Amino acid sequence: MQLSRDELKRAYTSMYAIRAFEERVEKEFADGTIPGFAHVYLGQEASGVGVCFDLTDEDQIGSTHRGHGHCIAKGCEIEGMFLEIMGRDGGICGGKGGSMHIADMDKGMLGANAIVGGSPPIAVGAALTQKLRGTDRVAVAFSGDGASNQGTTLEAMNMAVILKVPMIFVFENNGYGEFTASEYSVGAPSLSDRAAAFGMPAQCVDGGDFFAVHAAMREALAHVRAGKGPYTLETRCSRFLGHFVGDPQKYRSPEELAQARANDPIQRFRDKVTTAALLDISELDEIEQQIRARVEAAAAAARAAPMPALETLETDVYVTY
Amino acid sequence: MARISYRKAVNQALDQEMTRDASVILMGIDVGGGSGGSGDVGSVGGVMGVTKGLYPKYGPNRVIDTPISESAIIGAAAGAAVTGMRPVAELMFVDFIGVCLDQIYNQAAKFRYMFGGKARTPLVIRTMGGAGMRAGAQHSQNLHPILTMIPGLKVVMPSNPYDAKGLLIRAIRDDDPVVFLESKALYDMKGEVPEEAYEIPFGEANFLRDGGDATIVAFGAMVPRAMQAADRLAKDGIRVTVIDPRTTSPLDEEAILDSVDETGRLVVVDESPPRCSLAADVAALVASQAFDALKAPVGMVTCPHTPVPFAPNLEDAYMPSAEKIEAAVRKTL
Ligand SMILES: Cc1ncc(C[n+]2csc(CCOP(=O)(O)OP(=O)(O)O)c2C)c(N)n1
Ligand SMILES: [Mg+2]
């Protein structure tokens, strides 16, 4: 299906926002302004944006430890995200969550997740809510290739099938779970093959190609919205950096590392839309400039922001107690 | 004697036991690292580098990289243990115990009792816990209270390099399942550690300092903080005894009771929310068995009843500190 010029701009804005945000995270982390760990989404932008492109704030997603890209693709504000991952007052979660726990209930973002395999069962429940309420909303669980081996993920897949909930399992296969290759850790020929064995349709697409992911997602959405039960998408992605910012990656050969950026989703999008004369280079460049300025301002504001008030340590453990 | 880090002490214990006994194997996520990849296999040695060098030395059959499947990791280790191996399974962060708790408490910990004393399960689960690394609510917990309450399980919390080596060797040679809870805040701590293998028995507390004014009992990473507090108090002439039980199960009750008998004052320091904590456990022990010796209410220095927050200032406020310990001791005087 052909996207309009505005839609193409929206897609590029979202993908480039992830790129610029994550590059900034890399730099801020090196400068010591981001505490803890940072797992960035560089190289996987087309996957998150292609999946979330047709979702609304009422559709729910469950994410992973590598969640910044999913947040941005789902519409979270980067200002609140920077504040959050720097642990500042005004962060999306008040500075109490951090990079691995960014959640935004208003945007249908049920949280990054620091427990590998944490999100799929939660997404089954979110999809169950939609089914019981009779809406045409859906839930999406993002998982990595590594998370595909977690029992919770496999249990969620089976349960989603038998309950016929409107849910899409998205496996972003970037070839590694931490330092272990999926080649070693996944016994089945592919993750999409596994999904088929659970009794749901599955597709494996090029996760570096926004258009391929988006087209597959439209088919998935049509399937689940028709009440036919869950669907699986495997997106084959490239992880540009290591598992976390600063990972020396000795477990990847120099040749593989040199190749890691060859499948650059941003460049491929640019090439495609300019070759087909859908958007001008100047339009794309303008989007980039606007985003760079916004990211710069958001990061600077977050760095200057105060820490959360100490009283908040003990608030929001319960609704009532 | 060589001064080595806590990390290196754990590594040395694993290495020496693997050399001594071919049935000792390691399994866990990235304990070798790089399996199936295009670069160096086995060069990572765990996210904290604790098992570094063991894969190159012992190979993939004895240092087993696993998928991210904690139930299967711990369950398979328990199954191998009860059939003759001595597995040391790594649970990367103790927070992940939620994924595999059944294999620990319904399975491994109960085999011997349920099977009428016929089973031996020499399983070690090495894991790490503790806050302070800005790692957020799902990577910063300690969870030793949950483990300590499980009959059939032994729980070890080493507070320094010397203890880490001797207690881990003891754990590997032990015929019962043991959770060995390393403190991520202590991996770079250095101390004198003998090169040769040695065992530290379970259930024997370490007295780090003797003093007649009060007793401080502290666990794991709280031990160095208790020592700092003791130093500060000493400047005002207040002398405290500092006890590190080293294992929470079994617990050296006698050491604690004897000391409170002498000092009459007790502060327990536990990096854990207060309810059902080790602090509450030790306080109950003393209240029920040495009430007459107490000259003041027992002080408990714990975390608040909250998850671990991410923001650095909140996380610092969450932790028991030397200042809080010092204040708690002064309150008993
Ligand atoms: C239950 C659990 N086990 C292990 C970890 C440690 N860990 C964090 S991310 C990760 C790798 C996940 O790999 P994958 O699912 O492929 O996601 P990717 O990092 O490639 O995005 C591991 C092992 C964890 N956070 N939770
Ligand atoms: Mg992966």
Give the ipTM. 0.96
pLDDT of the residue at B25: 98
Q: Residue B127's beta-bridge partner residues?
A: B91, B181
Spatial CA neighbour of B109 closest among B68, B133, B139, B77 = B77
- Last residue of one domain, picked from the residues B193, B225, B255: B193
- In chain A, what percentage of residues exceed pLDDT 90? 98
Domains in chain B: how many in total? 2
Spell out which residues of chain B touch residue A250, defining contact as CB-CB under 8 Å.
Answer: 34, 39-40, 43-44
Catalytic-role residue among B112, B139, B144, B246: B139
Extract the tokens encoding B323.
């200042």
Report which ligand 1 atom has the smallest distance to the Cα of A66.
21
Q: Residue B301's beta-bridge partner residues?
A: B269
pLDDT of the residue at A100: 97
- Last residue of one domain, picked from the residues B136, B168, B193: B193
Report yes or no on B201 lying in a domain. Answer: no
Question: Are B212 and B244 contained in the same domain?
Answer: yes
**HSE of B29 in the Cβ direction (CA atoms, 13 Å)?**
24
**B71–A contact, CB cutoff 8 A:** yes
Question: Are B189 and B210 contained in the same domain?
Answer: no
Question: Are B43 and B150 contained in the same domain?
Answer: yes
Average pLDDT on A243-270 reads 94
Spatial CA neighbour of B217 closest among B292, B262, B282 = B282
Report yes or no on B199 lying in a domain. Answer: no
pLDDT of the residue at B194: 98
Report yes or no on B108 lying in a domain. Answer: yes
Question: Are B160 and B230 contained in the same domain?
Answer: no
B234: CATH? 3.40.50.920
B110: CATH? 3.40.50.970
Sorted by where each starts, the structural domains of chain A and their CATH numbers stand as 5-314 (3.40.50.970)
Residues with CB under 6 A from ligand 1: A 64-66, 114-117, 143-147, 174, 176-178, 243; B 29, 68, 70, 92, 96, 99
Question: Are B152 and B245 contained in the same domain?
Answer: no
Question: Is residue B139 annotated as part of the catalytic site, yes or no?
Answer: yes
Question: Are B117 and B220 contained in the same domain?
Answer: no
Mutate to test the interface with B, among A28, A152, A176, A313 (most CBs of B within 10 A): A313
Place of tokens 């290759």: A181
pLDDT of the residue at B243: 99
Report the separation in Å between the CA atom of A237 and the middle of ligand 2, taken as the mean of its atom positions.
9
Checking if the pLDDT of A1 tops 80, the result is no
pLDDT of the residue at A146: 98
Residues 216-235 of A with CB under 8 A from B: none
Of B37, B138, B311, the CB nearest to A181: B37
Question: Are B156 and B52 contained in the same domain?
Answer: yes
pLDDT per residue over A199-222, tens digit each? 999 999 999 999 999 999 999 999
Spell out which residues of chain A touch residue B303, defining contact as CB-CB under 8 Å.
Answer: none
Report yes or no on B68 lying in a domain. Answer: yes
Spell out which residues of chain B touch residue A308, defining contact as CB-CB under 8 Å.
Answer: 309, 311, 313-314
Tell me the ligand closest to B68's alpha carbon: 1
Query: From CA B238, how far away is CA B267, in angstroms rounded?
Result: 14
B309–A95 C-beta distance less than 8 A? yes
- What is the extent of the structural domain holding B220? 206-332
pLDDT of the residue at A5: 97
Extract the tokens encoding B112.
């011997």
A2 pLDDT tier (thresholds 50, 70, 90): confident
Which pairing describes strands B24-28 and B86-91: parallel, antiparallel, or unpaired? parallel
A308–B138 C-beta distance less than 8 A? no
A100–B41 C-beta distance less than 8 A? no
Spatial CA neighbour of B187 closest among B10, B14, B321, B2 = B10
Question: Are B183 and B90 contained in the same domain?
Answer: yes
pLDDT per residue, tens digit, chain B (333 aa), is 999 999 999 999 999 999 999 999 999 999 999 999 999 999 999 999 999 999 999 999 999 999 999 999 999 999 999 999 999 999 999 999 999 999 999 999 999 999 999 999 999 999 999 999 999 999 999 999 999 999 999 999 999 999 999 999 999 999 999 999 999 999 999 999 999 999 999 999 999 999 999 999 999 999 999 999 999 999 999 999 999 999 999 999 999 999 999 999 999 999 999 999 999 999 999 999 999 999 999 999 999 999 999 999 999 999 999 999 999 999 999
Question: Are B32 and B171 contained in the same domain?
Answer: yes
Report yes or no on B278 lying in a domain. Answer: yes
Question: Are B80 and B139 contained in the same domain?
Answer: yes
Checking if the pLDDT of A263 tops 90, the result is no
A178–B29 C-beta distance less than 8 A? yes
Checking if the pLDDT of A276 tops 70, the result is yes
A164 pLDDT tier (thresholds 50, 70, 90): very high
Question: Are B268 and B304 contained in the same domain?
Answer: yes
H or E, element range at A99:
none
Question: Are B162 and B290 contained in the same domain?
Answer: no
Spatial CA neighbour of B70 closest among B48, B47, B98 = B98
Spell out which residues of chain A touch residue B318, defining contact as CB-CB under 8 Å.
Answer: 313
Tell me the ligand closest to A153's alpha carbon: 1
Report yes or no on B292 lying in a domain. Answer: yes
H or E, element range at A287:
helix A281-304
pLDDT per residue over A288-308, tens digit each? 999 999 999 999 999 999 999
Spell out which residues of chain A touch residue B96, defining contact as CB-CB under 8 Å.
Answer: 115
Residues 150-169 of A with CB under 8 A from B: 150-152
Chain B nearest CA to A85, separation (Å): 9
Residues 24-63 of A with CB under 8 A from B: 35-37
Query: From CA B220, how far away is CA A186, in angstroms rounded?
Result: 37
- Last residue of one domain, picked from the residues B146, B171, B193: B193
